[in-house]
Amino acid sequence: MDASTIIVGMSGGVDSAVAALLLKREGHAVAGVFMKNWDEDDGGEFCTAAADFEDARRVCDALDIELLQASFAAEYWDAVFEVFLAEHRAGRTPNPDVLCNSEIKFKLFLQYAQTLGADGIATGHYTRSRWVDGDFQLLKGADAGKDQSYFLHGVPAERLAPCRFPLGELTKPEVRRLAQEAGLTVHDKQDSTGICFIGERPFGAFLARYLPPAPGAIVATDGAMLGEHRGLAWYTLGQRQGLGIGGLAGRRAAPWYVVAKRPAQNELVVSQNEGDLLSQGLIAKGVNWLGDVDLPLRCTAKTRYRQPDQPCLATPAPDDGLRLDFDAPQRAVTPGQYACLYAGERCLGGGVIETAIGAHA
C-alpha cells in the first residue's frame, strides 16, 4: 500500500487511538483532528469534551503526531440536531448517529481534511471496504458483534471511497490489547454510548429542554382510554417501561407495550399482545445506494443496529421509495429509524423507515 497523508478523527477513545497507531505503523503521514460539535456545557458527568480532548492529546503525544481541533457546531445543529427534534415532534424515533456520519464526519470533516492536503480520513469504525473492478464497496466488520456498517450506510459512496477503516479486521479485545502494548492510556477507557457528539445524558430530561410537553391519551388497540402520555416524543415502539398504566381493572396482569403512535390524534397506542408489534414489511424513503442495485432483489436487512440480518425482498416503492417484504414478521419496525440492506458481507445502502406494513396505525 502506498504511503498517504491521512487525518484521523480522534474522539479520545481507544478505537480512534488504535486506528491512528496502525496507520502510522503502515508508514502513512498521520495527523489527528478532535471535533467538538456540541457547544452546550452542562457541566458535571455529562460534559466530557474537555476530558476526551485531553485523552486524544495524550494519545497523539505518545504517537508523535499533530492534533488539531475543529468545530462544526453550527452545521451539526442545523443538519443533525434540528432534524432530530423535528422527527421527535412528528412522533417518529430518529437515529442521529446515522445522520451525523453522513452530514458531519464523512462530509464536513472529510472536506476539512482535504483542505489541509490530506489524501483521506480514517475513523475507528468497525467496518471494511474494498474495490471491485473500480467500484467502491462497503463491507461489514470482521467482528460480527462490533460491525458498524449500519451507521455508515447513508454516506454516499464517493465520500466513503477516500476513507480508511483500520479496525475492520479486528475485534474489540484485540484493539484494547494493541493499545495497551503501545502504552496508550485509553486502552481500558469505557466506550461512549450516547448521542453522537452530545454524549450520554438522561434522555427524557435532555429532550424536555428542547421540546415542550404535549400530553395526550394512551389508548388500547380496542379504543379504550387507559391514561395520559407526556408527549409522543418520549416513547418508542416496543417500549414497556414508564407507561404508568399497570394494574387496570378488567385487564389481565400482563405488560403493556407501545405498538403505535397516532400523531394526528396525539394518541399513544398500547397493547398487551406482543404480536401487535409485528410487521410484515416496510416502506423506506431517502434511500442511499452504495453502488448499482437492480430491483427487485433478494437480500437481507436490519431495521435497527445489532439486529440479525433478516431475509427479505426489496422492490421499488412510489416516489423513489423502497419496499421491503420480510420472510418472517419483524418486531417494532419503527418510523424514523433506518433500514440497512446487505448482500452477504456487502452493505448495499438503505433509507429512513417511513411506514411499517401491517402494523397498527
Please list the active-site residues. Answer: 100, 196
H/E stretch holding 181 reads: helix 172-181
73: exposed, middle or buried (Cβ count in 10 Å: 0-12, 13-18, 19+): middle
What whole-number distance in Å separates Cα of residue 161 and Cα of residue 155?
Answer: 10
What whole-number distance in Å separates Cα of residue 139 and Cα of residue 150?
Answer: 10
Q: Which amino acid is at 205?
A: A
DSSP 3-state assignment of 311? Answer: strand
Going through 207-307 in order, the beta strands assigned E by DSSP cover 216-220, 225-229, 257-262, 267-271, 278-289, 297-302
Q: At what angle do helices 49-63 and 14-25 cross, to 10 degrees?
A: 20
357: exposed, middle or buried (Cβ count in 10 Å: 0-12, 13-18, 19+): middle
Under a CB-based contact definition with an 8 Å cutoff, are residues 243 and 218 in contact?
yes
Find residue 311's DSSP bridge partners: 300
Q: How many Å from the N-terminal Cα to the C-terminal Cα in the chain?
A: 54
Under a CB-based contact definition with an 8 Å cutoff, are residues 239 and 257 in contact?
yes
Strand 216-220 with 267-271, pairing: parallel
DSSP 3-state assignment of 234? Answer: helix
